[in-house]
Structure 1
Amino acid sequence: MQNISRRSFVNKFGLGVGASVVITTLPSFITQSVKQKKSYTGKKLNIALCGLGNYATMLASGIAVSEYCNLAGIVTGSPEKALKWKAQYNIPDKNSYNYQNFDEIIHNKDIDLVYVVLPNGLHKEFVIRAAKAGKNVITEKPMSISVADCQEMIKACNENKVQLAVGYRLHYEPTHLEIKRLGQEKVFGQVRFIEASLGYKTYDTLDKTTIVDKKNDWRLNKKLSGGGPLMDLGIYCIQASRYVLGEEPIAVTAQFGTVNNKDRFSETEESISWQMEFQSDAISNCTTSCGFDTNRFYAVADEGSFELSPALSYGPFVGKTSAGVLKFPEINQQKTQLDEICKLLLANKKLPNHITGAEGLKDVSIINAIYKAAKTGKKISLK
């Protein structure tokens, strides 16, 4: 293992307070980055955040410590939020837009990229509008709520000669890069079985009679969300299964879980479990829920196993393999993701397929198949 000081790693990737030393091999992009002794001093990419919810705040914190990008603009339907963000991040009035005048961003040369952080059902509209304005785009996952939407988004970006990325932050997280390596390089032999789950208890189980105003929680609104926890959380289980195996599922089966709060979950599922079959005969068994807490990944191979718990959230991630402890220093996931994307865009290089619209389309295709399997009780082929 390369001789890397704890301090140098922490300073490079941020959010490392209390981080522990690496117990396993650092993924290549990190070892390469840590070797750099001089900070980047070149041109930065100017980003406008479209939608100023909770996750946008996390992105803004990542941008604040990034090397390759600046927070230069905002798009929001809330005048109050606009005033607050402009003051906090020193954003000029000319770089502040609402959802009605957003298209005027085409004339703003100070904005290079739009990051869409809106509810799932609005991703398509604003990705296409950003593309037509000639801006590169990142959209949060899931890419959209239907396969047709994803195809339209990809088409619009191609026609307007801009690049489209999906916010897969774990694709740059060192623990997940390691489990990807362990699976794809068959370090413990062929992976045969994966168990992945992610869920959060988002309501009080003792108060199941409360009527929830779905206008105030877009994730409960089917039109805005496209579905329940499968869209928001289960996608991480799908992703981990796919990139650990390095394969695409060929068939899915699925089952909706018990609805314990029928008022809250009248439009979207409360819980869902599903099984994915792969060409190698590997099986992935996954669960997601808004009714209980779970956050685990486990893979068993011919000659060993590896696991994480916590596994699929914002970390810090802790795990083990048949060979010992699996733990990396904690990084700023948003900073790292944005820096790696912006670095390529600044160099006019093509983004890798694993974070583009093509990847987002695959996930949405699988999600739609899982819903169909749960509704019909049948195995759905993905070949």
Structure 2
Amino acid sequence: MLTTQALFAPPIPKNEFDRLIELSEYDLDYSNLKIHFKDLTELAAKVAGTEISLINLIDSFTQWSVAGYGFPPVQMDREDSVCQYTILGDNPYEVKDLREDDRFKQKFYVKDEPNLRYYWGIPLKTENGHNLGALCVLDKEKKSISPEKVELLKLIASEIVSRLNMLRTMDDLKKSMTEIREDHKRVAHDIRGPIGGIIGLAQIIQDQGDENNLEEVLEFIQLIKKSGKSLLEMADDVLTQNFHSKNRPKLNKKLEYNLFTLKEKIYDLYAVQAKQKEIMLSVHLKSQNGDIPFPQNKLLQILGNLISNAIKFTPKFGEVEVHLALTQRDNKNWLIVSVRDNGLGIPQEKIHEILNGKVNSSEGTVGERGYGLGLSLVKHLVDSYHGQLKIRSELGLYSLFLVRLPVSR
């Protein structure tokens, strides 16, 4: 007889690996996005008439609620989420009663606080056709979303993607300030076009608000306009800087780590996952060169997938150890990272598949679905970094991932 876990194996989009690559290209720090999207989650809840609204991004292992209204942003295993079904298609996804759906009725968010019953979500689709996650609205009671409100929620989802693109563009600008002078006209057009369009749509919605009988939305539309205009002003400010001046702005420190700040960020992002599974997560570093800065470029995408994988395949009361070091070799700085767990181990043929870029999936502990795509993504990113990835493992004992990445200030 098939178990419930087997009957409802977590679904994977057909374009999953390409989707994960595009998400990694945004190089997002999931813990620092709330300020950029809080107004949109409040607007979505007001439009839908629900108690809760969340913006969720889904990587290989985890659903990250990067902003929320009515409920604090959280992280959960991807296979526990409803949004994993929303990102499978192009259209809104609705579950009218989570308590009556065999896939969700035993989930903690249904059985325990906040005792959710209703779900409606829409994928956050990029221009390349990949769903990075979902905007969802939820409630403790059954609800119904009218066609008019669906259209407004679609506009909000489009604004979320536009802001993600803006953040990505701004980070790219800060990482390449010396090239802005010759490229600033093209970048300015790329930024101003979509944001200006969103502001125009917001104005149309405001003008027709009475006809739609959604007067309560108008004040929040003003917030969208205000936020959009401030983003335009910020873009103009960056693009009009004199980058050949001796007083040109320095690289934003948020785009850099050192060993100490990287250790802190790992705890911030992944201690919750470890605690939920009652696993000890420890991060150790060699203090030598600990304060030397290096670019954050995709480090969280690489280390995050390795740490999430280790947590997933380590049994309760196990341990995941992360070691960080920065060394000099061949006139380069090298970031040396090891991630070790005392979990299930990896068969040699699986290691061979990962190191050769082959995509596969396996089962985690306690019946979890493994996302082998996450480790394949790590290999892809390490290769693009011109780094090295080594894997050692013994079945039933441990797995050890060794990463060497060239980094420069």
Q: Please report the TM-score for the alignment, with normalisation by the length of structure 1.
A: 0.29
- For the pair shown, the structure with the greater C-alpha radius of gyration is 2
Q: Please report the TM-score for the alignment, with normalisation by the length of structure 2.
A: 0.27
Give the structure with the higher percent helix. 2
